[in-house]
Amino acid sequence: MKRFANLKRLGFFTRLLDEASPAERYRFAAEQIVRAEKAGLDSAWIAQHHFHEREGGLPSPFAFLGYVAAQTSRIRLGTGIVTLPLENAVRVAEDAAVLDLLCNGRFELGVGTGGNPSAFAAFGLDSAQRNEIFARNLEVVRAALVGKALDGGDTLYPQRPELDRRIWQATFSVAGGARAGKAGDGLLLSRTQPRSKDAPRATLAEIQNPIIDAYLAALPVGCEPRIMASRSVFVADDHAEAMRLADIGLRRALPQFMKGGHLPPGDTLEEMITAFDTHVGAADAVIASLRADATLERVTDLVFQAHSVDAPHPYILRSIELVADKVAPALGWTRTAPGVALAG
């Protein structure tokens, strides 16, 4: 029986894509995170997206996590990610510091270069310069959090230097993995990545293991690795029901999937499940599917999301329970005792 020896933490992730009004999306996502805490999960992560409701439903992650923090007490709350090039770096540091204080040190700051090119234009920025803007803004965030003087001489209030050790960087590239490792940050790996024309059938492990290699090679001596893999996971009590919902969700998500640079999948549900890197079915089938993902042998954190199946809200709540009760323990995850918060 294959178990992942390095797996320390289990999390839930949402891009807030429920088929509902904006207010209902936020309410559903909050309920899902509350359910994740009750199920014993260690963390919950939300994504930031500007403008494009089919990509993500939340432009204001700090406001939303403050709302969720008031409804939870143990689960760690993370951004996966803040699109840092589109933000004022000092404001990110201020919001992160205040949120971390309000949730008693449960906040994890995930950042990345993301964002649709048109979103950059709306903010008066050039998307071709996203990497340079990201690097500059991240340097300012770090300086502010640890209390260094900013331009003009002011320092952050409140200061939150411990947050500098809870920064995570998202990347699709080997160079990005090395950048995160050199900084001593956590590494955020995506649930799926576009395949190149040269390797259209490459597995996620074949794409992401070189990123992990670069991260570990660049990590300073004595710095503990933090490697998180997000995965598309949807579990139902009945396998046929899971596949029925997957067929609906994946076909609905296909146009947006193609816009993201992915190669066209075949017409069958099985081909779409493979193309979307989705683990779906009853618990036993999902356990077997996840065990085949060699990347997960190396991660410290596994975070699952219902995208792109995006089943109705009650099914997502049940999927959270099934992952916590049946799937994750079979992979080597151990539930934290109720009321005990994991250290950041």
In this structure, which amino acid lies at residue 197?
Answer: K
> In this model, does residue 343 exceed pLDDT 80?
no
What's the pLDDT at 337?
58
The β-bridge partners of 235 are: 281
* pLDDT tops 70 at residue 342: no
Dump pLDDT digits (tens) for 109-135.
999 998 788 899 999 999 999 999 999
SS3 309: coil
Residue 224 confidence (pLDDT) above 70: yes
Whole-number Cα distances in Å, 320 to 36, 84, 86, 264, 333: 6, 29, 32, 30, 14
Single pTM value for the model: 0.95
Domain 9-80+171-331 belongs in CATH node 1.10.540.10? no
- Rounded Cα distance between 58 and 48, Å, is 5
Give the dihedral sign, CA 273/274/275/279. positive
Provide CB contacts within 8 A for 268, sequence distance 6+. Answer: none
Does residue 104 carry a pLDDT above 90? yes
| Alpha helices in the chain, H assignment, sequence order | 22-38, 61-69, 89-102, 117-122, 130-145, 174-183, 204-218, 239-259, 269-275, 283-291, 313-322, 328-331
pLDDT digits (tens, 9 = 90+) for 27-82: 999 999 999 999 999 999 999 999 988 888 999 999 999 999 999 999 999 999 99
